[in-house]
Structures are given as C-alpha cells and as structure tokens.
Amino acid sequence: RKKQDRISELLQKSGLGKRFQKKTFENFQITDANRAAFYQAKEFCANFPNTKRGLLITGPVGTGKTHLASAVTNDLIGRLYTVICRNITDIISLIKSTYGQKTELEEWEIVDILTTEVDLLVIDDLGKERASENTNTLLYQIINRLYNDERPIVVTTNFTSVTLAEKLGERGQSIVSRLTEMCEPVRTCGEDWRLKS
C-alpha cells in the first residue's frame, strides 16, 4: 500500500497528464517500423540507473515518440525513481512564471530541480517551443548542467538534428551537440496512428 501511495505521488509530480499515465510498454503497438525503438527504450529502463546515455527519440508526428517517453516514465516511477516528464513549452512556461512576481520557487530553483533533484528528466516535443534568446538560454542551461554532471535525459522531437539546431537559434548547435553525445539515437517511423483511429 505504501509503495502504491508513493507511485501515485510520483505520478502526480511527474507532469504526465492522465492520458499519458496510461501509456506503457505493454500497450505500445509494435510494428516493423517501430520495433527497434521499442526495444531500445525497454533496454534503457532495464539498465537504469546504470545507463551511460539517455535517449533522443526522433520521428514524424504520431509515430509513438511520446508513448515511448511516457512508458519509460511510468516504468521508472513504478520502481520508485523520480521522473519529470514535461512538454518543452510547459517547462519554459513553468520557469517564466517565476519572473517579476513573488512565487514559491525562483527560476534557479526550478532549473535545479530539473537537473539535480530528479533521477531522470524527460523533455517532450523539443523544437516546438517559441524560440527566443531567453528560451534558448534556459534550455542550454538545463542541457549543459545535465551534460556536465553526466546525468541521463530522454528527449523527443519531430526534427532532424540539423533542423533542430536551426530552430534553437544561436545556441542550437551547442544544445544538439551535447544531446548527441549524451543520448542514443532512437528513430520511430510509420504512419500517424492518430489519423488511423
């Protein structure tokens, strides 16, 4: 019972919405196009926390990237690891909410939580945020801290490394270079499953 309560608490803090709290490896629809990605994500979980690299999950819209990232999150939370899994726009909004007003947490404290106080940070939809110098600086700060401390990260994006670097502006090359060194590349393929539903 205590373990179940702790899992529920961790799920609430993870940032996963109700839809994605139900996404697991067991209900992931394996196809020839995504089989390799599925097994890479499972292997990452099996080896955690003794994994040297995170995962950079790329592919077109609707090919299971967020499902895999959520499955990783749910698997690790089920083993009582602390995981934050958030869309990049939510992360940026959360940090910006500290600007110019009295809040419980300051910007540096949120960055600290994301980079030192959780076992794994999962960033969904990198490249979908509205790029600005401030946004890209924040993102660089988060990635660079994890890089320097040799901590794993899981990232999903619809973009190739070249396009992602362009979208992330002046610091794009540095961010993508670090992610490439930090993460195993995972590619999802196939048709948009949402359009087939």
Residues 49-98: pLDDT tens digits?
999 899 999 999 989 999 999 999 999 999 999 999 999 888 888 777 77
- What pLDDT band is residue 117 in, cutting at 50, 70 and 90? confident
121 DSSP assignment: E
**Confidence (pLDDT) at 92:** 85
Residues 183-196: pLDDT tens digits?
999 999 877 655 55
157 DSSP assignment: E
What value, to the nearest 5°, has the Cα angle with vertex 100 and ends 98 and 102?
65
End-to-end CA distance of the chain: 37
Encoding tokens for residue 121? 């940070």
Task: Report whether pLDDT(46) > 90.
Answer: yes
Angle between helices 172-182 and 133-148 (to 10 degrees): 30
Residues 4-41: pLDDT tens digits?
777 667 667 777 888 888 999 999 999 999 999 999 99
Q: Break the chain down into helix, strand, coil percent, rounded to 5.
A: 55, 15, 35
How far is residue 5's CA from residue 169's CA, in Å, rounded to a whole number? 43
